[in-house]
Amino acid sequence: MSRVFVRFIKPIFIVVILLSIGLSVLHMCGIQIFEPESIFTGAESRMIAADGEISSDMVIPGGRSIGVKLDVEDVLVVGLEEIRTENGSVVNPGLDAGLQIGDMILAIDGMEVHSADDVISIVGNTDKKSVRLKVGRKDELRYIDVKPVLSAEDGKYRLGVWVREETAGIGTLTYYRPYDGSFGALGHGITDVETGSILKVADGQLLDARVVSLKEGKKGEPGEIRGIFYEADEPLGSLSRNTEYGLFGYAYTDLSSSEYSQPVYVAEPDEIETGKAYILTTVEENQVEKFDIKIEKINRDSEPSTKSMVIRVTDDRLIEKSGGIIQGMSGSPVVQNGKLVGAVTHVFVNDPTRGYGIFASTMIEQSENGKKS
């Protein structure tokens, strides 16, 4: 029995040895016989190139609908209100002290504030006739003294300000970078509706979203994607930066879609041409689709801009479904000649088939700048 086993195993052993020697020789000669492969392990995702090196300059175009939930870093003043006091007079202590809509309240009497509850707690428990607010206004830092007043409505001391510390919305993923698990979305910043200020991110999540319905865009009346968040307890990633040129963060999972799962290079501005291209976007459920567009104008100014390209939707399918570009498509990747060239950012109010786009290279640069800071 043992002799039979030895006669059987000996040829197999010799074949394995010969194969090992052969593969070693091929590798020494620089010959790769295996195809490139992708491996994804959440935020540690990596794209393995043919030579075994990690490719850092390739991205996977997005197009999927995403939900965004942001906790704002500072307390944003979004309104100033009058307060009726116990003696019947009406005052506005915030306005009288010089507060403005759009101000960021950073601290009160030296204590940092990060929510409306922080403001209410500090002001409600003070025994001072006035409190000193540390306020950020655009690029300036100011200190403003405000006199809280006792509200006849609820018997609490108030400053007469409306503040906000969180926001949420629907947008589109622009790219996913397997090299380090980072992503970019929207192509522009998330701003406060009342003030127009870019919101600073204290914490945030990227969520899966599903398109429920579309409001068609018409001349003078922009359309919109109406969607919902789902699987909110399993976020797709974390948000780290909200900038003028997009929203950036790191994924917990592979963000590629069935429509586009292979990595591509990011085009430099001088590689982009006027003419045919396409966008990837979601207008039904969670299905990423490809739609034809035309790049009509390219602005290669050295300064970064969210309006570096003028694009026109030429695909009748998209025009029939949505009228063209609508709110919620911001971030939809623009692909031309096999490269990611940009993302949709704005729609022309008087012509929903046309809009602006940002260069993808600008978004990548902004993302990298954030890592260095």
**CATH code for the domain of 117:** 2.30.42.10
Specify if 45 maps to a domain: no
Last residue of a domain, one of 159, 174, 191: 159
Q: Is residue 83 scored above 50 in pLDDT?
A: yes
- Residue 175 near residue 61 (C-beta atoms within 8 A): yes
What's the CA gap between 20 and 254, in Å, rounded? Answer: 34
- Selecting among 315, 332, 346, 361, the annotated active-site residue is 315
* pLDDT at site 39: 28
- CA geometry: angle 218, 184, 166, nearest 5 deg: 75
- The C-alpha atoms of residue 259 and residue 287 are separated, in whole angstroms, by 8
Q: Domain check: are 309 and 335 in the same one?
A: yes
Task: Return the higher-pLDDT residue of 315 and 191.
Answer: 315
Task: Find the catalytic residue in 65, 74, 182, 188.
Answer: 188
Of 264, 72, 295, which Cα lies nearest the Cα of 163? Answer: 72
Q: pLDDT per residue over 152-163, tens digit each?
A: 888 888 898 888
Same domain, 127 and 218: no
Q: Is residue 113 part of a domain?
A: yes
**Catalytic site residue 192?**
no
Mean pLDDT value across residues 63-75: 85
Q: What is the pLDDT of residue 373?
A: 44
Q: Look at the chain and report how many structural domains it folds into.
A: 2
pLDDT at position 327: 92
Segment 179-205, tens digit of pLDDT? 899 999 999 998 876 667 787 776 789
> pLDDT value at position 201?
78
- Tokens coding 333: 């990747």
What's the confidence (pLDDT) of residue 61?
A: 96
- Give the C-alpha separation, 272 to 359, whole Å: 9
Residue 176 lies inside a defined structural domain of this protein: yes
Highest averaged pLDDT of the listed ranges 39-53, 82-96, 287-301: 287-301
In three-state secondary structure terms, 31 is: coil
- 2, part of any domain: no
Average pLDDT over residues 361-368: 92
Residue 352 counted as domain residue: yes
**Residue 34 CB burial class (10 angstroms; 0-12, 13-18, ≥19):** exposed
Residues 6+ apart with CB under 8 A from 127: none
pLDDT at 256: 85
Percentage, residues of the chain above pLDDT 90: 47
pLDDT above 90: residue 169: no
The residue type of 127 is D
Q: Which residues pair with 144 in a beta bridge?
A: 133
Do residues 183 and 295 share a domain?
A: yes
The confidence score (pLDDT) of residue 16 equals: 53
| Residue 330: active-site member | yes
The string of pLDDT tens digits covering residues 251-289 is 999 998 877 778 999 999 999 999 999 999 999 999 999
CA-CA-CA-CA torsion sign (18, 19, 22, 28) = negative
Residues 155 and 170 in one domain: no
* pLDDT score for 10: 55
Give the pLDDT confidence score for residue 47 in this predicted structure: 41
One domain, residues 98 and 244:
no
Domain ends where: 128, 159, 190? 159
pLDDT above 80 (res 235)? yes
Pair 183, 278 in one domain:
yes
Distance in angstroms (rounded) separating the CA atoms of residues 113 and 20: 65
Longest pairwise C-alpha distance within the chain:
109
Do 145 and 197 belong to one domain?
Answer: no
| Residue-number span of the structural domain to which 104 is assigned | 82-159
Residue 239: what pLDDT?
A: 92
Per-residue pLDDT tens over the stretch 11-52:
555 655 556 655 555 445 544 443 333 323 333 333 444 344
180 in a domain, yes or no? yes
Q: Which candidate in 45, 305, 308, 330 is catalytic? A: 330
pLDDT recorded at residue 22: 59
Give the gyration radius of the chain's Cα atoms.
Answer: 27
Query: Are 301 and 365 in a shared domain?
Result: yes
Looking at residue 93, what DSSP letter applies?
H
What are 130's two structure tokens?
A: 């006035």
Give the mean pLDDT of 113-124. 87
Domain containing 249 — which CATH number? 2.40.10.120
Do 297 and 222 reside in the same domain of the chain? yes
Question: Buried b / exposed e across 334-344, counting CB within 10 Å, b at 16+?
Answer: bbbeebbbbbb
**What pLDDT was estimated at residue 160?**
87
What mean pLDDT is reported for the chain?
83
In the structure, what pLDDT confidence band is assigned to residue 370 with cuts at 50, 70 and 90? low
Is 188 labeled as catalytic in the residue annotation? yes
- The pLDDT value recorded for residue 147 is 92
For residue 200, tell me if it sits in a domain: yes
* Whether 328 contacts 171, CB under 8 Å: yes
> Residue 317: in which H helix or E strand, if any?
helix 316-322
Mean pLDDT of 122-131: 86
**65 and 99 in one domain?**
no
Q: Which helix (H) or strand (E) is 316 found in, with range? A: helix 316-322
Give yes or no: residues 171 and 219 share one domain.
yes
Inside any domain, residue 137: yes
pLDDT tens for residues 322-363? Answer: 999 999 999 999 999 999 999 999 999 999 999 999 999 999
Which range (114-123, 295-304, 309-318) has the least confidence?
A: 114-123
- Averaged pLDDT for residues 219-242: 87
Residues 62 and 125 in one domain: no
* In the predicted structure, residue 113 carries a pLDDT above the cut 50: yes
- Out of 100, 128, 159, a domain closes at 159
